[in-house]
Amino acid sequence: MEATNPATGEQIATYDEDDEGDIEAKLRTAQSTFEEWRDVPLRERERLLENAGEVLRENKERYARLMTEEMGKPIAQARAEVEKCAWACDHYAEYAHAYLADEHHPSPPGTEVKTVHDPLGPVLAVMPWNYPFWQVIRFAAPYVTAGNVGLLKHASNVPGCALALEEVFEEAGYPEGVFQTLLVGSSKIDGVLRDDRIRAATLTGSGPAGRTVAETAGNQLKKTVLELGGSDPFVVLDDADLEAAVETGVTARTQNGGQSCIAAKRFVVHTDVYDEYVDRLVDAFEALTVGDPTAEETDVGPQADPDLMAELHEQVTQSIEAGATVVTGGEPLDREGAFYPPTVLTDVPEGCPADTEETFGPVATVYEVADEDEAIDVANDTRFGLGASLWTDDRERAQRLAREVEAGCVYINQMTKSDPRVPFGGIKDAGYGRELSEAGIKEFVNRKTVWTE
């Protein structure tokens, strides 16, 4: 398993994959550890999670540089990712006991009826490369604190990050086996998921990968949570604060090289402000610094892999051939590394790749709409339903329209984001289930009714 720097094409390191014997040993360890870990008092689990947050902060620079080297994230954004992971640890260290408190129900006189929250067992997590620390911590922090144990199958291009995350839990003082990394390819996942010792699974990734995991888990009657990407609308109405909507829109489309499930991908703009908004958006895109991800001034680094950049460019090329207009960008940069420029497409024809597919890179498609009804129609015209961003100065109007948007979350005058304090997840082809907050920590517990006469 090789790690390659996408900014230079240089091989960073080579790692030995786990063989069948290694997988069996880790599954055995997970099961035996769970039998003890489930009985560790919740307050002690919270204390260990607080330690994990401290480990992340102490090693912030090293972990950030590892992310930057393996998948090309600009270094300032990589540091912010580590800080966000530490924040998530702090959050669950403080609130897990409240989220998992017994729930009491009405019952006959002389009886007590309550719901308690017991852990399920070893949970398999199949995680992507785009936020190599955050995606894992937002799985591990709640589920491990609830008393489960975790086995991570990380993306094959970030093996160093996978092992570093295992290190976080070791350094924090967790018992051996509470969190383990499986260095295996995707072909091994089906067998691991079928193993009786795995009780649940969570996946963040592509639709085909999610369907495969869901099919296997469903056949085994195992609980799953899936986050499968999106084509999030960024709706700008006629009374929006254009300066704020441009500034936030640029960040929402281009941070992390545009490689985010909840990135703003389809800009739906009211005709009264369309021309001005497009002009401002293009100017802001062209002002971004694209280059060396280790440089502090870099806004957009390389795409994580040359093949992924080629797929993105093919989507853009096919959309242009179908009639879309390139306002800026649209061609890979003529330099070493997988660099793609921030790109704006207008006049996007219905049914072309930029209209119907998820573009996983810094490509914004812009649609002109006549009124709010058409804006909602265009926003909902997608098989995805992860997040949405809605811009208007009328809060009552915003609240009303937010209920009409078909998505797992709608952010008003703010970019879509995942936050440990609120549930996160999608509908339709974006997946099902929720991560984070109270809803997230309760996805992988047995909500057991206890009736005492």
Residue pair 148/49 in contact by the 8 Å Cβ criterion: no
Catalytic residue among 85, 261, 352, 409: 261
- Give the chain's radius of gyration (CA, Å): 23
Residue pair 130/304 in contact by the 8 Å Cβ criterion: yes
The amino acid occupying position 340 is Y
Catalytic residue among 227, 358, 406, 443: 227
Structure tokens at 370: 């006549």
227 belongs to the catalytic site: yes
β-pair partners for 233 = 266
Q: How far is CA 126 from the centre of its chain?
A: 12
DSSP letter string over 14-68? E-PPP-HHHHHHHHHHHHHHHHHHTTS-HHHHHHHHHHHHHHHHHTHHHHHHHHH
Residue pair 279/242 in contact by the 8 Å Cβ criterion: no
Enclosing H/E stretch for 86: helix 75-99
Residue with tokens 């970019």: 415
161 belongs to the catalytic site: no
Q: At what angle do helices 274-286 and 242-254 cross, to 10 degrees?
A: 50
> Number of C-alpha atoms within 13 angstroms, CB side, residue 270?
16
Residue with tokens 């829109």: 249
Residues annotated as catalytic are: 227, 261
